[in-house]
Amino acid sequence: MTLAERVLDGDIRAAARLMRDIDDRFKSATDELKTLYPHTGNAYILGITGPPGAGKSTLVDQIIAAYRKKDLLVGVVAIDPTSPFSGGAILGDRIRMNRHADDAGVFIRSLATRGCLGGLSRSTMDVVNVMDAMGMDVIVVETVGVGQDEVDIVSTAHTTVVVMVPGMGDDIQAIKAGILEIGDVFVVNKADRDGADRTARELTAMLEMKHPEPEAWQPHVLKTEGCRGVGIDELIEEFTAHHTWLKESGALQRLIEERNAKIFTDTLRQELFDTVFGAISDSGMYRQILNGMRDRSLDPYTAVEEVLAGSAFS
């Protein structure tokens, strides 16, 4: 049996191996993904994002426990930052979710960003599809700690959750721009800290200033204490309410179309780059371009035009 067939047959070890091959960009993984793709599209994808130190991993741990109480299968994709020097990553998210390690209904996969911006790894969508094909009911994607414009999660998740925490300086500066616009649910975690109520009020006021259409989803601000499990039940109810709205309003289909478009364009972009760059490297043209740029006899813009015109394959 192929890896894909074993994944569809419920083989957890085959799924883990396929995810490794995907992250290592083995060509064989593409054929397995082709087999799995018709079996995807059933899972509810939940994206958790926010700045470093907001308690995202602890919150995810509580979310896993809440869904397991409902007897739902849960997959987790935890993204960790990669060192720009060694290329390694400390997969610390697993430590905070360690109590689920022996639960057969939970599958946790850590991914390193490997230099990708946007809060996700380049392998995230493919790994999510593997978990979807495995039969996971809920897939939680936890991004690395993000800033104001690293918002790739919105094109991956059905419900995007922005986690904030009081006491991080200027709260308004921390939540402006893209982060404020992508959230479907806002969470003020560590709500036992001083300033939690003020942070929640400011968030609510800023959301009300957006003046959404009457039929649009109105994001709410919830307060939680991830370490003690406070506010988790209300959070799960909010996720359910948003998922129901997505299905009833038709927004879910639009989200799926946008996600499919991103998967296609990202895959096309990567394949085109690999094909073209491989050709100019093998032919020696890449070295000629660098030499020309070094002595200023060739500019990078003309070089790209020549490559695209097909001179690399002549």
Given this model, what pLDDT does residue 313 score? 46
Query: If pLDDT is split at 50, 70 and 90, which confidence band does 67 have?
Result: very high
Identify the residue with better confidence: 163 or 209.
163
Res 231 pLDDT > 90: yes
pLDDT for the residue 157: 92
Considering the chain, what is the average pLDDT of its residues? 85
Instruction: Out of 36-40, 117-121, 151-155, 263-267, pick the least confident.
Output: 117-121
**Per-residue pLDDT, 169:** 56
pLDDT surpassing 50 at residue 118? no
CATH topology of domain 40-248: Rossmann fold (3.40.50)
Torsion on CA atoms 91, 93, 96, 98, rounded to nearest 10: -60
Of 10-14, 49-53, 145-149, 266-270, give the lowest mean pLDDT range.
145-149
What is the pTM assigned to this prediction? 0.87
- For the chain, where do the domains classified as CATH 3.40.50.300 start and end? 40-248
* 252, 158 Cβ separation under 8 angstroms: yes
